[in-house]
Chains A and B, each alone.
Chain A
Amino acid sequence: MKKKSVFILAMIFVFCFAAGCSIGENEKHPVTVSVWHVYGAQTDSPLNDLIDEFNDTVGKEKGIQVEVTMVSNNKNIHKDILAASNKDPGAPELPDIFVAYPSTVMAMPDEEILVDYYDYFSEEEIEKFIPSFVEDGEVDGRLVCLPVAKSTELLFINKTAFDRFSKETGAKIEDLSTWEGLYETAADYAEWTDGQTPEVPDDGKNLFVHDFHFNYFQVGVESLGESFFNNNAIAFGPVFNKVWEPYAKACLSGGVWLQGGYATEPLRTGEAIVSVASSASVLYFSNEVIYPDNTSEIIEIIVRPCPVFEDGKNLVMQRGAGMCTVKSTPEKEQAAVTFLKWLTEPETNTEFVIETGYMPVTYEAFEEYLPGAIGELNDQKYVELYKAYLETQEKFEFYSAPKFDEYLEIENGFEDKIRQLLLNERNEIVSAEEEVVIEDAAEESLRLLKEYM
């Protein structure tokens, strides 16, 4: 009798326990991971298509939905991330995943809010990545920016417009392979375009636009054998002057675009015809230039490795932000990492980067998938891009910016100030009644810059 009672009680317990378990299971909802990224900005975003693919396959199977809640550029994302992490009034909520450079992470009040990918990737998995890319994503020994795509700076030329200039002046595309040649050509172009409309004085056009003037100086100084930074500040050593001189002359002659915005903007409006920009900007280059009179022209864009100094070494900036994951629940972190692992799988990664003008991040993608993907490219612009990319890889050394807390502040301050100083000086030259000696103006601008920095 006692045995029977015990059996019945045990059965009741088992039933209740089973019922309880089944309820627990039912409460499990799909995990949604929000993403802010830069791949495609306001254009058709190849990453968004890949995210759809992930959601339909792996995501569906594992109950993960990746939701893109912002596609912008690094500048905007950087601004919003800092506002969100500082909990500024009106700032947005941090997403689960966002794209950022380590400099953004270092500017955050607390880097510990980000997941250390070393906790989620095995040693074997990390070894599949190209080591320098992984190092780039480290902050204080923690891997917080997972490399998903890397880029470098390349020279983009509106060949159609340059050919017209070349035909009249004898300028050569080869001249653009050195900074000295490029700036000289820029000054010539400003003079030549000014001469096209003699009735309108000082309406010369810019030949050249650089995405980041700061990068030009940093890499330029380093390529000439001097350290750009000294004790977390710009060194302004003797080599800096050498880098400054041709640049400032071209700027003050009106050959360089000094207004804000990305390099693609003036190329699209025909206000500049040569740019140094991230390889990823290929997505934003349009084959069509629209002029102020609403006429447009289909142009040919060619791509070359970034210019170097004549007596400097072939050094180029390595770019490409990484993906950061904000710490949350273990389920959400795991979901985010599942997506990122999928995105960095060699085949997926190659498919992703080839459409966005980036380079893959694993050895296997580089060796097994990238050559085939390049071979299948149809768009001439992309073919040119990867040709220049491979040439850069073969002949150049990649430079990674140092990581220290003040880096971002120095970069932003320098970038804004140098453009503003030179633009003001240029305007003064244009409006001056007497002829201004360019060299003197350049020297004055440099003095002001040093003073400011």
Chain B
Amino acid sequence: MKMTIGKLFKLTKNAGRQSIKMQNRLVLYWGVMILVVFAAILAIMSFAGVFSDSEERVAQVLSLQQKNTFSQISEDFNRLTAQGISLSEKASEIIEEAVIGGNISELNDSPEKLKEIESRLYDEMNIVLRTSPCSGAYIVFNATTNTSAPGAGNSRAGLYLRFANLSSDNEANRDIALYRGIADVARAHDIELHNRWKLEFDIEKISGFEKAASFSGSRIADGCFWTGRENITDTWESCIMLAVPIVSGSGEFYGVCGVEVSDLYFRLINPAMQSDFGGMVTVLAPIKGDELMVSEGMIGGINGTLIRGTENFVIKEGSLFNTYIGRDTRFCGIQQETDIILEDGTVLYAVTLVPEDHYIKEDAANRIIWGIATAILFVAMLFISFLLAKNFVKPIAQSLEAIQEDDFAGAGSSGISEIDNLLSFIRKKGSGKSETNLPSDIEELFSDFAKRAEALTPTERSIIKYYADGKEVNEIPELCFISINTVRKHNSNIYKKLGVGSKEELMLYIELFRRSGRSDELF
């Protein structure tokens, strides 16, 4: 190969001075060589991932989904907060109507009054529950049924309604269960008691109660906040809760109300959207340091992924998207800060995640395809280059060999016109000496005779050749498979065409041509 390229370089130098045909061949050869180099570069680039668009596609898919997720979450939580505020105002009105002196403590030890208020509030809460994107609604009064009951200090009356049969899309047919509140209220409205029903709330287990009780602002909206993810006592579910203080017109703390978004509900209303890279999971969780605290937030549907709701992820920032590294799972994702602020001031982030392995595999598959394609191109071009080079050099090498051996006749045609012209020139130059040594009139005689010989038929030439080889007339019929009469007729034609009068004269010419090395001009 190295030798071939060396020869070609030498030939290329002379190409400008030679015929166009050779240039064309060189152009073709160099074209192929350029393609080889191009294929090699392609291969390197494809293995480096330059041609894989998976990264851009993941970013595009994530970005689109994130836009929807963020807008949906923001809208839902805003709506819930508004519903919470409205419920608080309604509860405040109903309590104020029920207590004569405007003092909530009047409800202490008054089970009948509490029952009346709960019954009235049931309808309000039922509306909130059925018209809002939540799984439960609650109201806690700052009063208890029995101040002398054990644990009365932390016990508060109220109403807590939860959906009993949540599923993604049966909003119209959801059954409600009474989780906290007076059992008779449930019976009056034909709803079941929750499997873990209790009459009252334990305020130690309502993280928002204390903070709501300390609210002293004039605008209820300023006192709203969300609690972090907490287990719903005695159940398998956990939730985040909106806490809205209930205050009287004069600012007295009446209690707290709000809504609950359970992890199951969040999962159902945020199903995993399927993409080419697997299920896209919605997460609403705080970020602490460089960690996405999924365990403290909510996670949507997980269809098509192996994500666990109890897992936290270390965030590795990227240019188009981030990588979220869990215990044994990795995700690509985009995050965005929401307006949802927890009790302790922590902000929740809306995050869209998609399993990294699908993207990695697709990226790898793209690289493999590009790699294989460029490798095939590379090999094919190399192969064509090899064939072209071999065919290009072969006639040149053969011609050189013929020149070295002075066998111009044996060299024949090279297939390259420039080489043939060169050989012809060398040949002429090599045989030019014998021609010039002859006197001009003799040379003319030879030329005239040779010219006349061109009129001979192939059979007549064969017969002359036999004469030149020393054959007699009577041997010719057998050699040429013709009769003696036909031979005589050919002889007569030969003499006529060559302008000779006898066989002796013909033999003299043949001998002269042979000695001059010009026999090929006769036969």
Q: In the bound complex, do residue B164 and residue A76 qualify as a contact, i.e. CB atoms below 8 Å apart?
A: yes
- Which residues does chain B contribute within 8 Å of A36, judged by CB atoms? 167
Q: In the bound complex, do residue A76 and residue B175 qualify as a contact, i.e. CB atoms below 8 Å apart?
A: yes
Determine how close the nearest CB of chain A comes to the CB of B278; give it in whole angstroms: 5
- Which residues does chain B contribute within 8 Å of A286, judged by CB atoms? 196
| Per-position binary interface string of chain B over residues 259-280, scored 1 when its CB falls under 8 Å from any chain A CB and 0 otherwise | 0000010011000100000110
Closest to B194 in A: A42
Closest to B379 in A: A8
- CB-CB contacts below 8 Å: A185-243 with B: none
Q: In the bound complex, do residue B195 and residue A294 qualify as a contact, i.e. CB atoms below 8 Å apart?
A: no
Q: In the bound complex, do residue A43 and residue B145 qualify as a contact, i.e. CB atoms below 8 Å apart?
A: no
Q: Which 9 A-B pairs have the closest CB atoms?
A: A26-B361, A92-B167, A76-B165, A90-B172, A32-B303, A294-B145, A92-B170, A72-B165, A294-B146
Please, how many angstroms separate the alpha-carbon atoms of A29 and B301 in the complex?
15
Closest to A52 in B: B308
Q: In the bound complex, do residue A60 and residue B306 qualify as a contact, i.e. CB atoms below 8 Å apart?
A: yes
Given A43-B195, A265-B192, A69 contacting B145 (CB threshold 8 A): no
- Which residues does chain B contribute within 8 Å of A76, judged by CB atoms? 164-165, 175
Q: In the bound complex, do residue A23 and residue B304 qualify as a contact, i.e. CB atoms below 8 Å apart?
A: no
- CB-CB contacts below 8 Å: A249-280 with B: 259-262, 264-265, 268-269, 271
Please, how many angstroms separate the alpha-carbon atoms of A40 and B301 in the complex?
21
Which listed segment binds B: A14-22, A163-171, A321-329, A371-379?
A: A14-22
B512 proximal to A (CB < 8 A): no
Which listed segment binds A: B149-157, B420-428, B429-437, B480-488?
A: B149-157
A245 proximal to B (CB < 8 A): no
Interchain residue pairs with CB less than 8 A apart (27): A15-B372, A15-B376, A19-B365, A19-B369, A22-B368, A29-B305, A32-B302, A32-B303, A42-B162, A42-B164, A42-B177, A42-B237, A65-B302, A69-B167, A69-B267, A71-B236, A76-B175, A80-B173, A90-B169, A92-B167, A92-B169, A259-B187, A268-B193, A269-B183, A286-B196, A294-B199, A295-B149
Closest to B329 in A: A60
- CB-CB contacts below 8 Å: A1-59 with B: 8, 12, 15-16, 18-19, 22-23, 25-26, 29-30, 32, 36, 40-45, 48, 55
Q: In the bound complex, do residue A67 and residue B303 qualify as a contact, i.e. CB atoms below 8 Å apart?
A: yes
Q: In the bound complex, do residue A29 and residue B278 qualify as a contact, i.e. CB atoms below 8 Å apart?
A: yes
Closest to A68 in B: B264
Q: In the bound complex, do residue A26 and residue B365 qualify as a contact, i.e. CB atoms below 8 Å apart?
A: yes
| Per-position binary interface string of chain A over residues 287-329, scored 1 when its CB falls under 8 Å from any chain B CB and 0 otherwise | 0001011111000000000000000000000000000000000
B91 proximal to A (CB < 8 A): no
Q: In the bound complex, do residue A83 and residue B145 qualify as a contact, i.e. CB atoms below 8 Å apart?
A: no
- CB-CB contacts below 8 Å: B175-217 with A: 175, 177, 182-184, 187, 190, 192-200
Given A19-B368, A292-B182, A268 contacting B301 (CB threshold 8 A): no
A114 proximal to B (CB < 8 A): no
Please, how many angstroms separate the alpha-carbon atoms of A43 and B164 in the complex?
11
Q: In the bound complex, do residue A83 and residue B195 qualify as a contact, i.e. CB atoms below 8 Å apart?
A: no
By a beta-carbon cutoff of 8 Å, the part of chain B in contact with chain A is 111, 144-146, 149-150, 152, 155, 162, 164-173, 175, 177, 182-184, 187, 190, 192-200, 234-237, 264, 267-268, 272, 278-279, 301-306, 308, 355, 358, 361-362, 364-365, 368-369, 372, 375-376, 379-380, 383
Determine how close the nearest CB of chain A comes to the CB of B7; give it in whole angstroms: 23
| Cβ contact of B165, chosen from A18, A45, A70, cutoff 8 A | A70
A284 proximal to B (CB < 8 A): yes
Please, how many angstroms separate the alpha-carbon atoms of A60 and B512 in the complex?
102
Given A42-B195, A69-B268, A80-B170, A8 contacting B369 (CB threshold 8 A): no
- Which residues does chain B contribute within 8 Å of A73, judged by CB atoms? 164
A395 proximal to B (CB < 8 A): no
Q: In the bound complex, do residue B358 and residue A30 qualify as a contact, i.e. CB atoms below 8 Å apart?
A: no
Given A36-B167, A42-B235, A294-B144, A90 contacting B194 (CB threshold 8 A): no
By a beta-carbon cutoff of 8 Å, the part of chain A in contact with chain B is 8, 12, 15-16, 18-19, 22-23, 25-26, 29-30, 32, 36, 40-45, 48, 55, 60, 65, 67-73, 76-77, 79-80, 83, 89-93, 259-262, 264-265, 268-269, 271, 284, 286, 290, 292-296
Determine how close the nearest CB of chain A comes to the CB of B338; give it in whole angstroms: 25
Q: In the bound complex, do residue A44 and residue B187 qualify as a contact, i.e. CB atoms below 8 Å apart?
A: no
Please, how many angstroms separate the alpha-carbon atoms of A29 and B276 in the complex?
10
Looking at A15, A41, A42, A295, the one whose CB has the most chain B CB atoms below 10 A away is A42
- Which residues does chain B contribute within 8 Å of A83, judged by CB atoms? 170, 173
Looking at B172, B187, B365, the one whose CB has the most chain A CB atoms below 10 A away is B365
Please, how many angstroms separate the alpha-carbon atoms of A110 and B145 in the complex?
52
Q: In the bound complex, do residue A41 and residue B195 qualify as a contact, i.e. CB atoms below 8 Å apart?
A: yes
| Cβ contact of B236, chosen from A25, A45, A67, cutoff 8 A | A45
- Which residues does chain A contribute within 8 Å of B369, judged by CB atoms? 19, 23
Q: In the bound complex, do residue B150 and residue A295 qualify as a contact, i.e. CB atoms below 8 Å apart?
A: yes
| Cβ contact of A72, chosen from B164, B196, B358, B375, cutoff 8 A | B164
Please, how many angstroms separate the alpha-carbon atoms of A293 and B199 in the complex?
9
Determine how close the nearest CB of chain B comes to the CB of A345; give it in whole angstroms: 22
| Cβ contact of B234, chosen from A29, A44, A67, cutoff 8 A | A44
Q: In the bound complex, do residue A44 and residue B170 qualify as a contact, i.e. CB atoms below 8 Å apart?
A: no
Q: In the bound complex, do residue A12 and residue B193 qualify as a contact, i.e. CB atoms below 8 Å apart?
A: no
Please, how many angstroms separate the alpha-carbon atoms of A40 and B236 in the complex?
8
Please, how many angstroms separate the alpha-carbon atoms of A68 and B166 in the complex?
11
- Which residues does chain B contribute within 8 Å of A22, judged by CB atoms? 365, 368
Closest to B359 in A: A26
Determine how close the nearest CB of chain A comes to the CB of B39; give it in whole angstroms: 14
- Which residues does chain A contribute within 8 Å of B184, judged by CB atoms? 292
Closest to A285 in B: B195
Closest to A84 in B: B170
- Which residues does chain B contribute within 8 Å of A295, judged by CB atoms? 146, 149-150
Determine how close the nearest CB of chain B comes to the CB of A83; give it in whole angstroms: 6
Please, how many angstroms separate the alpha-carbon atoms of A295 and B182 in the complex?
13
Q: In the bound complex, do residue B236 and residue A44 qualify as a contact, i.e. CB atoms below 8 Å apart?
A: yes
- Which residues does chain A contribute within 8 Å of B175, judged by CB atoms? 72, 76
Q: In the bound complex, do residue B235 and residue A43 qualify as a contact, i.e. CB atoms below 8 Å apart?
A: yes
Please, how many angstroms separate the alpha-carbon atoms of A15 and B168 in the complex?
46
Please, how many angstroms separate the alpha-carbon atoms of A45 and B236 in the complex?
6
Q: In the bound complex, do residue B195 and residue A264 qualify as a contact, i.e. CB atoms below 8 Å apart?
A: yes
- Which residues does chain B contribute within 8 Å of A16, judged by CB atoms? 372
Q: In the bound complex, do residue A268 and residue B306 qualify as a contact, i.e. CB atoms below 8 Å apart?
A: no
Please, how many angstroms separate the alpha-carbon atoms of A148 and B272 in the complex?
29
- Which residues does chain A contribute within 8 Å of B190, judged by CB atoms? 260
Q: In the bound complex, do residue B165 and residue A8 qualify as a contact, i.e. CB atoms below 8 Å apart?
A: no
Q: In the bound complex, do residue B195 and residue A29 qualify as a contact, i.e. CB atoms below 8 Å apart?
A: no
Please, how many angstroms separate the alpha-carbon atoms of A141 and B365 in the complex?
48
Q: In the bound complex, do residue B365 and residue A23 qualify as a contact, i.e. CB atoms below 8 Å apart?
A: yes
Q: In the bound complex, do residue A32 and residue B304 qualify as a contact, i.e. CB atoms below 8 Å apart?
A: yes
- Which residues does chain B contribute within 8 Å of A93, judged by CB atoms? 167-169
Please, how many angstroms separate the alpha-carbon atoms of A16 and B370 in the complex?
10
- Which residues does chain A contribute within 8 Å of B306, judged by CB atoms? 30, 55, 60, 65
Please, how many angstroms separate the alpha-carbon atoms of A79 and B173 in the complex?
9
Please, how many angstroms separate the alpha-carbon atoms of A295 and B149 in the complex?
6
- Which residues does chain B contribute within 8 Å of A80, judged by CB atoms? 165, 167, 170, 173
Determine how close the nearest CB of chain A comes to the CB of B28; give it in whole angstroms: 19
- Which residues does chain A contribute within 8 Å of B168, judged by CB atoms? 69, 92-93
- Which residues does chain A contribute within 8 Å of B145, judged by CB atoms? 292-294
Please, how many angstroms separate the alpha-carbon atoms of A64 and B479 in the complex?
94
Determine how close the nearest CB of chain B comes to the CB of A243; give it in whole angstroms: 28
Q: A65-B303, A67-B267, A293-B145 are in contact. List 10 more A-B contacts (CB 8 A).
A: A32-B302, A32-B304, A42-B195, A65-B305, A67-B301, A83-B173, A92-B170, A265-B183, A290-B198, A293-B146
Q: In the bound complex, do residue B173 and residue A290 qualify as a contact, i.e. CB atoms below 8 Å apart?
A: no
Q: In the bound complex, do residue A91 and residue B173 qualify as a contact, i.e. CB atoms below 8 Å apart?
A: yes
Given A70-B165, A265-B193, A295-B150, A29 contacting B170 (CB threshold 8 A): no
Closest to A31 in B: B304
Looking at A72, A77, A83, A260, the one whose CB has the most chain B CB atoms below 10 A away is A72
| Cβ contact of B383, chosen from A8, A32, A44, A72, cutoff 8 A | A8
- Which residues does chain A contribute within 8 Å of B236, judged by CB atoms? 40, 42-45, 48, 71
Closest to B168 in A: A92
Please, how many angstroms separate the alpha-carbon atoms of A44 and B267 in the complex?
18
